[in-house]
A and B are shown apart, each in its own frame.
Chain A
Amino acid sequence: MADRATDGAQAMLEGEIACIREDVATLRAEIGKVIVGQDDIVEGVVVAMFTGGHALLEGVPGLGKTKLVRTLADVLHLKFARVQFTPDLMPSDIVGTNVLVDDGQGHRTFVFQRGPVFTNILLADEVNRATPKTQSALLEAMQEQAVTVGKETYPLVSPFFVLATQNPIEMEGTYPLPEAQLDRFIFKLHVGFPTRDEMHAIMSRTTGESDQATQRVMTAERLLEIRQLARRCKVEWAVQDYAIRLVEATHRDRPTAAEPAKRWLRIGASPRGAQSMLLAAKVRALLDGRVNASRDDVRALVKPALRHRILLNFEAEAEGVTTDRVLDELVRAVPAS
């Protein structure tokens, strides 16, 4: 009897996973109606969203970063807000502020006016154009899923998902994000230039009479279900150990440091990096129809999960070594088992 019940649960789970795969495929298809190419970026954003983390998209202007986030908000049945970060943007412009309200009976009270952060998907556009003070206003919201104004703490709605875009820091009028804030992003995704075929497709779509209409294919509840199921996926001890060893290898002062880290890194990744990799690996496995995270998943997530968590030293910068190159060599240096 018990076996039969277990078999039934297993079958249900299997069916659930198949549904999730189907839903995600639909979601990606809807996004694909607007966004041409950028498969890795779309996958990264979707994985980050199901993981429950926030993603930072970096690329030069005009590559479709904002469009991607807007499209994602469109296809998900979620509340969406956008904040255009500018140098004169204040923290209260993001989290909200207490305003004096007259109730019509001569009583005036301070009422908290919620800012755009109280939403499901927050697009922090060009986040590095704001001052560090304003950028740090996002810190609590991103990590604690709550904001504190005065003496009151206001919880954010769930799911809460920040998708920030930024221009490369070398550009004029930008403020690099503080390391503490960077660490709160689960992924940092590099948006690259589209190929020629993709460019043709973009031109055709965007210079016509009207944009492609998208449909809402996923609700917030469904998103949370998937997130819960992903957390149930299994991670073999050796896989977990691999993720930890990768993070340890980025610390040049540790005995387990890899040679590239000793040469080119100033600061290594935090434990949050390993957490991000494992959580994202589970989501990736689930989207692949598996219930176990593998080394391949970890390996595929090393760059998006760790590239913003390591800091290059002067030698690396002088030699023009990028974080991606360091991480590639790190993966080669750390044995998989």
Chain B
Amino acid sequence: MAPILKTVSHVRLRLRAQRALLWGLTACGPSLLLSAGAFAAYRLGILGDAGLDVCTTLAWSMVGLAALVGAARGVDWLEAAIVLDEASGLHDRLSTALELAGAGHEDEVALLQYADGLRSLARARVEAAAPWRMPRGLRLVLVGVVAVALGIWSPLPQSTGSAGAVEPSPLPRVSLPPAAVESLSPEDREALEAQAEALRLMAKGTVDPNAKRWFLDVEHVVRAVLEGRLSKAEAMKQLAELEKKQPGKTDGDGKEGDPNAPKSDKPEEQRERMLDQAIADKLERAVEHALKGDPKLEKVLPELELMKKALQDRDLDKLADLFDKLRNKELTPEQRERLAKALEKFADKLKDRSLADKMDKLKRDEDRLKKQRDETAGGLSKRDEDRLGKTQRELEKLERDHGDQGGAQRQLERLERESRQAAADLQRRIKEAHKGGQARMDPKAEQELRRQMKEMMGKAAEELRRQTQGQQRRQAGQMGRSRIVDIKEIMRRDRPDAGRDEFEKRAGGDPKPGEGKDPRKGRDQGRFQPTDRRGEDPNRRWVMGTDRGPIWRLRMKGGEGEGQGHTAMEGDGESARLKGGREHFVEGKKSDGPTRKQVFQGAARKGFARGTWGPVYGEYADVAEEAMDKEHIPAGRRTLVRRYFELIRPR
């Protein structure tokens, strides 16, 4: 039986080795986790060198120990013999022989079986019985080892979501307890992440380096809060600092970033938007006008066609590039002649002051009638009142339709002047050349002309770029303000203390005796008591609303005595604004309006409304922003809307 036992022992050895490998690999999982945890703790300073050594030694000892246990677990002789029989096709000769030998059978059948077993040993295939196979989890474990190794040796990310080469400002690292991270609800976390992503996109899409840097700074603050590296209180301070430096915020001299500069109000923003719109409109009309008269012009100067397209897309930056291109282009005499005509027309259109004159006239009329109304004891006559109303309505309409034409005109004046001068020079030189019968222009004159052309075009390009940057800065400032407000709102909502602090600050202030008729400002110092939305428990200072977040309401005790004087808002008679107003009764025409069928039929005949993407986008985005400013929309939803518009923004 010895030869049989020897052969089977080889199989046992191989099976043991494989088992050891398998057990070792199985232990690799927990060991990897332990190692990774230990290194993470070490990197965070929780664990020292000795602790790290202990942990890693322990982790990898586990692997060795598991392998040893796997190897030590005996493989049954019969089990190994069966495996060998199966693999070698020996019809259980060896296992039966071993079993009979183990049971001590000595009859002739058993002896014959032993002999048969010995004879069949020649056909036994040990390698086939216990082949070296790669354990299933080996690849996984190797991937895990590599991942953990990469995790251990890679540097910790200092910032995320940076765009371009602009690095965010360094922030003080504040170590926070884990609670700071946990206090963010999933919705708030999601909303903040969306804000950070939107800021990253805005930074990416902004040309102005200051605006780009500002967006990245705000994003960095938000990410720091999300990662728990910055407390929310600290973040609020940082945001307040950044808010002072936001792009597009200018003082009277146009200097940016002045913390003492007054916050721009909405009419100012609207005025600037209208200005941008008016300039773009004006330029578009001017180029269109310049191109209209000469169909060949576009073929001779393809840049003009591109200019037209750039204006349709409201891409002033591209327009500036085209001016630069045109400036450096070698022009043929024919091109020069045509360009001169085009520039003249362009300048004519820019010079068109009919609209501005009309608006000036209307303003003068309005001022005159108002002055007359204030000075005359009985007010204006009915005719003059009608005229004033009509003037005001017409002026409003013009401003609404065409923006601040005067402001736009001022910005375009330089461009017009330069264009006209260049066109005149160009035509003069051409005429001189024709008069003299010269086939070519005098080289000196040609050089001079080229210089002038270059200068003019350069100025035009510069003006347009300045215009673009200013526009972008204003837009960025507007968007940035909205972002900051949203982020603050999210953080404040998540931090009940902050809301209460602010509330108490606003509510408490410096209590003074009441001075008006308003019972809320009586002599007895008014005291604010925030209650929950139902006001059921007067002792509760604040309670989270059950459905829409915390709702604060004021409960105040009335003063004991009467106040003195009155507030400006509570005038006795009509307010100044209502004084000159008149009531108008308009009777509408009752109708159900067109049916859906009629709408579609009409559209089929006339065609659906169409518009260029750029202007349409701008209008829609503005309307959305205005709606969000006016309506009470949760910050999370606002983020979604803004993100949507950010994603569909023409680039």
Q: Which residues of A contact B (CB under 8 A)?
A: 6-7, 9-10, 12-14, 17, 232-239, 285, 288, 290-297, 336-337
Contact = CB atoms under 8 A, between A and B. Distances in A.
Contacts, number: 71
Contacts of A13: 108-109, 112
A238 B115 CA distance: 20
Given A6-B106, A337-B79, A292 B91 contact: yes
B116 A288 contact: no
A236 B92 contact: yes
Given A6-B108, A239-B92, A239-B96, 15 more contacts: A6-B111, A7-B111, A9-B108, A10-B108, A13-B109, A232-B109, A234-B109, A236-B92, A238-B78, A238-B95, A238-B99, A285-B91, A292-B92, A292-B116, A336-B82
Given A292-B96, A297-B91, A238 B112 contact: no
B282 interface: no
B34 to A, nearest CB: 36
A292 B100 CA distance: 10
Contact of B115 (A10, A235, A236): A10
Contacts of B95: 236, 238
B91 A288 contact: yes
B85 to A, nearest CB: 8
B71 to A, nearest CB: 22
B93 A292 contact: yes
Contact of A10 (B85, B91, B111): B111
A177 B100 CA distance: 42
Contacts of A294: 85, 91-93, 96
A73 B83 CA distance: 42
Contacts of B96: 234-236, 239, 292, 294
Contact of B113 (A12, A238, A292): A292
Contact of B112 (A10, A235, A297): A10
A249 to B, nearest CB: 19
24 contacts: A6-B106, A6-B111, A7-B111, A10-B111, A13-B108, A13-B112, A233-B109, A234-B100, A234-B105, A234-B109, A234-B113, A236-B99, A237-B99, A238-B95, A238-B99, A239-B96, A288-B91, A290-B91, A291-B112, A292-B93, A294-B85, A294-B93, A294-B96, A336-B82
B306 to A, nearest CB: 73
B91 A296 contact: yes
A336 B91 contact: no
A238 B82 contact: yes
Interface string B103-131: 00110111111011000000000000000
Nearest to A297: B91
Given A234-B100, A236-B99, A14 B86 contact: no
A295 B108 contact: no
Contacts of B100: 234
A232 to B, nearest CB: 5
B12 to A, nearest CB: 15
Contacts of A291: 109, 112-113, 116
A94 B72 CA distance: 66
Nearest to B91: A294
Contacts of B91: 285, 288, 290, 292, 294, 296-297
A313 B86 CA distance: 34
Contacts of A290: 91, 93, 116
B75 to A, nearest CB: 13
Contacts of B85: 294
A235 to B, nearest CB: 8
Contacts of A337: 79, 82-83, 86
B88 to A, nearest CB: 12
Contacts of B82: 238, 336-337
Contacts of B116: 290-292
Contacts of A238: 78, 82, 92, 95, 99
Contacts of A336: 82, 86
Closest 8 CB pairs of A and B: A294-B92, A294-B91, A292-B96, A9-B108, A236-B96, A10-B111, A10-B108, A13-B108
A235 B93 CA distance: 10
A70 B53 CA distance: 86
A290 B79 CA distance: 21
Contacts of B86: 295, 336-337
A282 to B, nearest CB: 11
A295 B109 contact: no
A234 B103 CA distance: 12
B617 to A, nearest CB: 62
A288 to B, nearest CB: 7
B78 to A, nearest CB: 7
B117 to A, nearest CB: 9
Nearest to B99: A236
A9 B106 CA distance: 11
Contacts of A233: 109
A40 B108 CA distance: 31
A232 B115 CA distance: 16
A295 B92 contact: yes
A252 to B, nearest CB: 28
A232 B91 CA distance: 17
Nearest to A337: B82
A162 to B, nearest CB: 30
Nearest to A236: B96
Contacts of B99: 236-238
Contacts of A17: 112
A171 B99 CA distance: 50
A296 B82 CA distance: 12
A154 to B, nearest CB: 36
Contacts of A232: 109
Nearest to A239: B92
A294 B85 CA distance: 10
Interface centre among A233, A235, A337 (most CB of B within 10 A): A337
B446 to A, nearest CB: 96
A17 B113 CA distance: 12
A130 B86 CA distance: 46
Residue of A7, A10, A234 with highest tally of chain B CB at under 10 A: A234
B174 to A, nearest CB: 60
Nearest to B83: A337
Contacts of B78: 238
B546 to A, nearest CB: 52
A337 B79 CA distance: 8
A315 to B, nearest CB: 34
A336 B82 CA distance: 10
B110 to A, nearest CB: 7
A171 to B, nearest CB: 40
Interface string B199-232: 0000000000000000000000000000000000
A295 B92 CA distance: 7
Given A290-B91, A292-B93, A234 B110 contact: yes
Nearest to B111: A10
A6 B109 CA distance: 10
Contacts of B113: 234, 291-292
A285 B116 CA distance: 12
A285 B109 CA distance: 13
Given A290-B91, A292-B96, A337-B82, A14 B106 contact: no
Nearest to B85: A294
A219 to B, nearest CB: 24
Contacts of B79: 337
B172 to A, nearest CB: 65
A12 B83 CA distance: 31
Nearest to B92: A294
A158 B258 CA distance: 121
B283 to A, nearest CB: 79
